[in-house]
Chains A and B, each alone.
Chain A
Amino acid sequence: MLSKLITITVVFLISVGGSNLYSQTCSCAGPPLLSSVEFRPTPAKTWQFGLTVQHNSLSRLVTVSETLEDDARARSTQAVLIEAGYGINQRLSFTSVFSLIQKRRTITLPAVGQDKLLTRGLGDAVFMLKYNLLPRDFVLSRQLTVGGGVKAPLGRSNLRLDEILIATDMQPGTGSIDGLLWGNYTQRFHATSPVSINLSASFSFAGENDNQYKFGNDFESSAGFYYEAKSRVDFSAALKYRWASPDTRFSTSEIPNTGGQWFRIEGGLNLKVNNSLTSRFSIQLPVYQKVEGTQLTTSYTLSVSMFYARGLTF
C-alpha cells in the first residue's frame, strides 16, 4: 500500500513537472532552498524520505516596511524538494535534499503589454550531518539536535536568453558553495501533554559564485508548537524570523535593494496515514518585514509534503 502510494505520487509529479506550471518566484535573492527545508531529527537506524512541492508567491512591492501599490510585477517560484535522511546511530544522522526549481517573472504595463520570463531546472542541494546533543527522552520527548553541512551548487547559475546572462535571482541555482549550521529543540509541555514546542535556528554562510556574485548570509529561526490530536490530523503553528544580509558583487559592492528582515507565521495540518507515512499541508503568510531599499517580497507560501520513515533495507 505504502509503495503504491509513493509510486503513484512520484509518477504524478513527473507528469506535473513536465507541464508549463504557473510558478511564483521566491522573494529572496536566490532559490528558496534553505528557507524551504524543515530539517528534522532522524531516529537511529531509520530512513526518512520527504517529498515537498512548494509554491512561493511574490507580488508585494515593499519599501522598508511600507507596501507600495504596484501591480506591475509578479514573481513566483515553484520547488520540488526531495529529501533523504538516515539515522546512523542514536546521536548521529545524515540528511540530503535535492531540488527542482521553476521561476516565473511577469511584468505588466498598461498600454505596453506583458513581458514574461520562465526558467527551470535542477536546483542546489543540501547535505547535512546532524548530532543529537540531547537524545530524545521518553518522558517529555525532549531532544536537542545540532547540524552542520553545505549547500552544493548543483543548479545552473549561467542560463542565458538571446546570449544575455539572465539575472542572478532568476537562475535555478546560486552557483556557490555555502556553509550551513542548524539547531533544533523540541519537547512536550508535560509528560501527557499533546502539545510540543519546537524551536529551531539555521545560519548559512554564503560563498561567491563564478560571476563574482555572493548572496547574502542568511539566518532563520522558528518558534512554534505542535498539537497531536487524538484523530489522525495534527496541527502546528509557528512564528518564523528571517534575516538576510545584502548581496554583494566583487566582494565589496553591496547590491542595493537586497537583504532585510522578515517575520512570517506558519500554520500546518499533518495527516498520519500510518505509522510510517505522514502528509503535511502548510501555509506561510507575512506578518512584518523591514527590507533594504525597495524590493518584491513574499505574499504567501504553500507547501504540500509527504514524509516516510522506516527502518528500510534495500
Chain B
Amino acid sequence: MKNYRLITAVSLIVIMIFAACMKAVVSERGNEGWLIPPGEVFEGGPGKDGIPALLTPPLATAREAIFLNDQSLVIGIKIGDVTRAYPHIILDWHEIINDEIGDELFSITYCPLTGSGIAWNRFLNGQENTFGVSGLLYNSNLIPYDRLTDSYWSQMKNLSVNGVLMGQTSETYPIVETTWETWEQMYPETRVVSTRTGYSRNYGVYPYGQYRTNDDNLLYPIANDDTRLPRKERIHGIIVEDRTKAYRIGSFSAEITAINDTFNGLLLVIAGSSSKNLVVSFKRQLANGTVLTFEPLQDQLPAIIIDNEGTSWDIFGNGISGPRTGENLEAAAAYNAYWFAWGAFYPETEIYGL
C-alpha cells in the first residue's frame, strides 16, 4: 500500500518535471535573421493567413457599389485607361489584395492599425508572386510575406526584412487615397472590389472598435512615440533619401491647395484637399532639368494642378492638357499613414507648417 502511494506521489512529481522540460514550442518556421529588431516584432493573434489576403477578387461597377457611402475611403489605382478602387471597408478585413490589370501584377497592401496603403509590384525576380498576411507586426505595422519564398516584408519600410529575399526593396505603383464620392466623380467607369469576396465578413463594421479615433489606443509597443501630433491624425509622408517630411491631410483647405516645396534638395509639389481626403505629391524638376511651379485647379478633378507653362496635370501626375500633354510627373516616394506610425518608423521627421 505504502509503495503504491509512493509511486503515485513520485509519478505526479515526474509529470510536473516532464511538463517543465517539454519542448514548449513545437512548431518551427526556420526564418532566422531579421533586418528589424525581432524583439520589436509581435504576433498579432490571428496567425499566418489568419487574415486572408484576396486574389483577383470580384469587381462591381460604380452603380453596384451600394455598400459604399460618399465618405468611404478607397485606394485608387490607374493603369492605362483602367481604374480600380479598393475600399477600406474590405481592406480592413483582408489587408492585402493581390490583383492584376492587363500585364501589371500588383498587391494593394493596407494596414488598418497604421492607416498605411501602399501598392507593390508582385512580379518579383522574374516570377509572379502573391503576398499574404503573416500575422506579424512591427511598430503596429503589417508585415506581409511572399508565398514563393516565404520572405517577410516590412510594409512601411518597403523592404524585405527576413528570409531569402532579405534586403530587397519593393517596387511601388502610384496610388491615390480619397473618398468614394471623389473617386467615382473622377472615374465614373471605375470598377470597385465587391463585398462578394467569398469570405463571410461583416464588411459594414470596422473590426477594431474605437481604435482609429482614440488617440490613447495603441495595441502594440512602438519604437518611438512622437507626440508632436495626435497619434491617429492622418498624414502624407514623403521620403527623400535619409530624411522625411509629413504633411497633415486635415490642414489642407476644403478647396484644392498646391504647395511648392523644397525638401532635402528635392523640388516638390504637394496638392490636396481635406474635404476630399486627398493628397498627392510629385517632383517639380523634370528629367531635363526644367523646374515647374504649380497652382491648384478647382472643380476639374482628376486634373488637380496647373504648371507655370499651362499644362494641367491629374492626380496620377499625367499631363492631360497643355504643352506637356502625355508627359508624366514623377511621383514622390510617399504614402499616407497615421502620425504615430510614421513617427515610429521615421523619428525626427519634419512636419510641414510646424
**Chain A: residues with CB nearer than 8 A to chain B?**
3-4, 6-7, 10-11, 13-14, 17-18, 20, 61, 63, 66, 68-70, 72-73, 80, 82, 98, 100, 105, 107, 109, 112, 115-122, 156, 159-170, 172, 212, 249-250, 252-257, 292-294, 314
Residue B103 interfacial (CB < 8 Å): no
Closest Cβ of chain B to A106, distance in Å, is 9
Binding site secondary structure of chain B: loop
Residue B48 interfacial (CB < 8 Å): yes
B43's partner among A98, A112, A165, A249 (CB-CB below 8 A) is A165
**Interface pair A10/B44, CB less than 8 Å apart:** no
Closest Cβ of chain B to A8, distance in Å, is 10
Contacts of A68 in B (CB 8 A): 200-202
Contacts of B4 in A (CB 8 A): 3-4, 6-7
A115 CA to B26 CA, complexed, in Å: 13
CB pairs A–B below 8 angstroms (8 shown):
A3-B4, A17-B22, A72-B52, A117-B47, A119-B25, A167-B43, A212-B221, A257-B209
* Interface range, B side: 35 or more
Contacts of A172 in B (CB 8 A): 24
A66 CA to B30 CA, complexed, in Å: 38
**Chain B: residues with CB nearer than 8 A to chain A?**
1, 4-5, 7-9, 11-12, 14-16, 18-20, 22-32, 34, 38-39, 41-50, 52, 132, 135-136, 147, 199-202, 205, 207-211, 216-221
B199's partner among A70, A116, A163, A168 (CB-CB below 8 A) is A70
A73 CA to B202 CA, complexed, in Å: 17
**Interface pair A119/B11, CB less than 8 Å apart:** no
- Which of chain B's residues has its CB closest to A122's CB? B19
- Which of chain B's residues has its CB closest to A84's CB? B12
A164's partner among B12, B41, B218 (CB-CB below 8 A) is B41
**Interface pair B15/A100, CB less than 8 Å apart:** yes
- Which of chain B's residues has its CB closest to A111's CB? B55
Closest Cβ of chain B to A210, distance in Å, is 12
A212 CA to B219 CA, complexed, in Å: 10
**Interface pair B218/A249, CB less than 8 Å apart:** yes
Closest Cβ of chain B to A162, distance in Å, is 5
- Which of chain B's residues has its CB closest to A156's CB? B24
- Which of chain B's residues has its CB closest to A121's CB? B24
**Interface pair A63/B202, CB less than 8 Å apart:** yes
Contacts of A255 in B (CB 8 A): 219
**Interface pair B218/A250, CB less than 8 Å apart:** yes
